[in-house]
Amino acid sequence: MEPEAKSRTWLAPAKINLALHVIGRRADGYHLLDSLAVFTRFGDRLQIEPAEHDAFSVSGPFAAGMPLGGDNLVVRAREALRQEAGPERTSPVAIQLEKNLPIASGVGGGSSDAAAALDGLARLWKLDIDEAGLARIGLALGADLPMCLKAKPLIARGIGDELSPLAEFPALALVLVNSSAAVSTPDVFKALSRRDNEALPPLPSRLDFHTIRNWLEATRNDLEPAAQTIQPAVGEALKALKKAGAAFARMSGSGATCFGLFETGNVAKRAAIDIRGRHPGWFVAATRSMEADAHGQD
Task: Give the residue numbers annotated as catalytic, written as ranges.
Answer: 15, 144
Residue 258 near residue 119 (C-beta atoms within 8 A): no
CA dist 256 and 104 (Å) reads 8
Which amino acid does the sequence have at 105? Answer: S
Cα distances (angstroms) measured from residue 102 to each of 21, 124, 136, 138, 155: 23, 28, 26, 21, 24
- The DSSP annotation for 137-166 comes to HHHHH-TTHHHHHH-SSEEEEETTTEEEE-
Residue 14 near residue 144 (C-beta atoms within 8 A): no
Cα distances (angstroms) measured from residue 158 to each of 30, 103, 142, 163, 189: 9, 24, 13, 9, 16
Omega before 256 within 30 of 0, i.e. cis: yes
CA dist 221 and 295 (Å) reads 26
CA dist 68 and 64 (Å) reads 11
Number of residues in the chain: 298
CA dist 12 and 25 (Å) reads 29
Residue 114 near residue 142 (C-beta atoms within 8 A): yes
